[in-house]
Structure 1
Amino acid sequence: MLELADALVETKLSAVRSWYQAVRDRYPSALVPDWRVGTAEGGAPLLTAQVIGQGAQEALHHFASAYPLALGGSGDLRPVFEYRPGRVVCVWRSNGVWVELWHHDLPAVTAPSPALMLRRRLPPPSGRLPLGQRLTNIRRQYATKEN
């Protein structure tokens, strides 16, 4: 069992070192502080950590696409992305250990339309249906004629 423990420690140290070397200049506030040990579906050991902080999404994409991990063992696999409900996962295999770095799948942020900005400045609705200016004028005319 000592071999497995050594592989976990070595893989974690390699992943942490590679992560911070890859993102320290461009995304210094993207962190991977909380590593968890588990078992993958096939029974292999699994290390997983959530990427947190400002720019987590961009940092994870940069790490997987632009930074080469030191992989060379039998069965090692390059990083790939998986999209699971609610999260984006970068997964690879090193020293027989599966490693997952992930972040929450955030919806794309778009700039609000000018019409939406105008609606935000208007007071909230009162619960009644809005009446058009024409209908209001017609009601005033009928009220004036009846009196």
Structure 2
Amino acid sequence: MTTAIDLTEAISRAKATWAAFSTEMRGDAIAPSWRTGTAADGSPLLSAEVVGAQKVQALHRFASQYPLVLRGEGDQRPVYEYRPGRTVCVWRTSGVWVELWHPDPAATPTAPVAPPAPRTAPKPGPTVSPSGRLPLSRLATIRRTLTNKEN
């Protein structure tokens, strides 16, 4: 069971880890407000929204490349998850779940696209050849050529 001292230590360690990462990255992604709660399994949960223009890249880089030091039994490496409406980097340290997240970029509304104009049927070619005779189809021409060769 996690004690209040462990929770305070886990919170300060998570905040320090993100601060060190964001300083190293030299970006504008920050986690200004941290909240505590309870995870689905009953463990304490520490959650913060990452804000800034580079939040998507920062969170992905943190989850995949940052060397997070985990010391306790049951600690888990960060994983990158997609949940409805947000992207989350979550890990477990000292019995506390820590999640950093950002909302999924909303699809930018676009103007409705007008349906394409209906295609008009091509105008049929002349039914009569310029010489006044009915045109022969390609198949008729081939048949006539083959018939002439046999005779």
TM tier, smaller: 0.5 to 0.7
Q: Which amino acid aligns with 2:6?
A: A
Structure-2 residue corresponding to 1:135: none
Q: Secondary structure at the match of 1:30?
A: coil
CA distance in 2, matches of 1:29, 1:50: 13
Find the aligned partners of 1:5 and 1:23 in 2 and give their Cα distance. 27
What is the distance in 2 between the residues matched to 1:59 and 1:8? 25
What is the distance in 2 between the residues matched to 1:48 and 1:32? 9
- TM-score w.r.t. the length of structure 1 is 0.67
Larger Rg: 2
Give 1:73 shift. 0.4
Aligned residues: 110
Report the structure, 1 or 2, having the larger helix content: 1
Where in structure 2 are the equivalents of 1:10-25 lying within 5 Å? 10-25=9-24
The alpha carbon displacement at 1:31 in A equals 0.8
- Extract structure 1 runs of 4+ deviating beyond 2 A: 25-28
The 1:27/1:57 distance shift into structure 2, 3 A limit, reads farther
Separation in structure 1 between the aligned mates of residue 93 and residue 24 of structure 2, nearest angstrom: 25
Output the amino acid matched with 1:6.
I
Q: CA RMSD in A?
A: 2.2
Q: For residue 47 of structure 2, what is the aligned residue in structure 1?
A: 48
Name the % identity. 51
Q: 1:41 to 1:24 in 2, by over 3 A?
A: same
